[in-house]
């Protein structure tokens, strides 16, 4: 039981790390797009 709980917790932290990494990537993409749009405007 403790093993499965630890595995679930581990997968949860891994997925949250992936989600935050994706969020940072999306934020960087938005900033880059905004900067590009601003320089073209």
Which pLDDT belongs to residue 6?
67
DSSP character string of 10-30 = HHHHHHHHHHHHHHHHHHHHH
Higher pLDDT, 3 or 27: 27
7-30 confidence digits (pLDDT tens): 766 677 777 887 888 899 999 999
Which pLDDT belongs to residue 17?
83
Higher pLDDT, 19 or 36: 36
């Amino acid at each position: 039981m403790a093993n499965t709980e630890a595995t679930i917790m581990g997968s949860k932290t891994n997925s949250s790390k992936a989600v935050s990494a994706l969020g940072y990537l999306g934020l960087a993409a938005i900033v880059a797009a905004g900067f590009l749009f601003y320089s073209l405007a």
